[in-house]
Structure 1
Amino acid sequence: MPLHLVKLCVGIDAPDQLRALQHGRRLAVGDALVHTTRMIPRRADEIVPGGSLYWVMKGAVRCRQTILDLEPVTDPETGRSACRIHLDPTVVDTEAWPWRPFQGWRYLPPEKAPPDRRTGTGGGAGGADDVAAMPDDMQAALREMGFL
């Protein structure tokens, strides 16, 4: 099972806002979707292929994107090493799991990664569609009480 990364998504409150921002950048820069970070993961061979970048928004992991490649680069302005994280443009909503603030990124083992958000044909009262339609704070409260 692949290793994942988790990173704060500063200034973004919801997955839809991230989708809109990245779509705008892709239109302006080209089709490549790249996020640059200062440190290069030492465990890159465990991340690619199959790992994801999980985004923390407003104190909780809210979505993820598949990592396609990790490219070591040198910042031309500073001469410092950096890492370009090449991402799949598809943003997948996850269950909202609380996450404390941190700097940079952290490794996330697959067994500790939040599951993708449930969606589906549901079919009415108590179905998957009903859960997906709930506000994130309501889902978090119900999860704490053990109902979800």
Structure 2
Amino acid sequence: MLNIIKLAVGCPSLEVLRERLNHYRVNGHATVQTRTMPKRAEEVLDGGSLYRVMDGMILCRQPIIGLKSCQRADGSTGTLIVVSDDIIPVQPRPMRPFQGWRYLEPKDAPPDLGNSLTQDGIADLPPQLRRELAELALI
């Protein structure tokens, strides 16, 4: 299993991301367009997720369903990363900007906001407050 991490440019929150998912769909599934097909596609398709960076923080992931070649608006070829509609919040983690996408090994991926965080009430906090707490290394 291997993950991909990609910036969600101009997307300040999970709510905006959820809204965007309705605009780029193929066969009923949400997609994210990128230029290149991952060379390690088999590993990505073996349970990988697309982690999203918003305003300098990794905030969520979406399970990857498939990868599909496409024709871009300028006539060049591209790739659609087909993802689940499930947006899974993860423990916020700062991330510097980068171009395109990167592989993200499972050992380096932030954990989901799971049961222990939910029991502590952290998952119920507004996203901006979670972000500020993460920037202060308090969660």
Instruction: Please give the TM-score of this superposition, normalised by the length of structure 1.
Output: 0.80
Select the structure of larger CA radius of gyration. 1
CA distance in 1, matches of 2:135, 2:57: 13
- Work out whether residues 5 and 106 of structure 1, in 8 Å CA contact, stay in contact via their aligned partners in 2: yes
Which digits, 9 at most, give the CA deviation of each residue in 1:82-133, with x for residues without a partner? Answer: 11111111111111111000000000000000111135796xxxx422x223
Q: Which of the residues 115, 121, 124 maps onto 1:133?
A: 124
What RMSD in Å do the two structures reach over aligned CA positions?
Answer: 2.4
Where structure 2 has 5 or more consecutive residues not aligned to the other structure, the ranges are: none
Q: Show the counterpart of 1:70.
A: 67
Q: Show the counterpart of 1:43.
A: 40
- Work out whether residues 2 and 46 of structure 2, in 8 Å CA contact, stay in contact via their aligned partners in 1: no
Task: State the Cα distance separating 1:141 from its structure 2 match.
Answer: 4.6
* Shift in CA distance, 47/121, structure 1 to aligned 2, threshold 3 Å: closer
Instruction: Please give the TM-score of this superposition, normalised by the length of structure 2.
Output: 0.85
Secondary structure at the aligned position of 1:132 is classed as helix
- Work out whether residues 21 and 31 of structure 2, in 8 Å CA contact, stay in contact via their aligned partners in 1: no
* Shift in CA distance, 141/9, structure 1 to aligned 2, threshold 3 Å: closer
CA distance in 1, matches of 2:105, 2:37: 17
- Work out whether residues 49 and 62 of structure 2, in 8 Å CA contact, stay in contact via their aligned partners in 1: yes
Higher strand share: 2
CA distance in 1, matches of 2:102, 2:116: 31
Task: State the Cα distance separating 1:9 from its structure 2 match.
Answer: 0.2
Structure 1 residue identity aligned to 2:29: A
Structure 1 residue 20 corresponds to structure 2 residue 16: no
Where structure 1 has 5 or more consecutive residues not aligned to the other structure, the ranges are: none
Instruction: Give the total of aligned pairs.
Output: 136
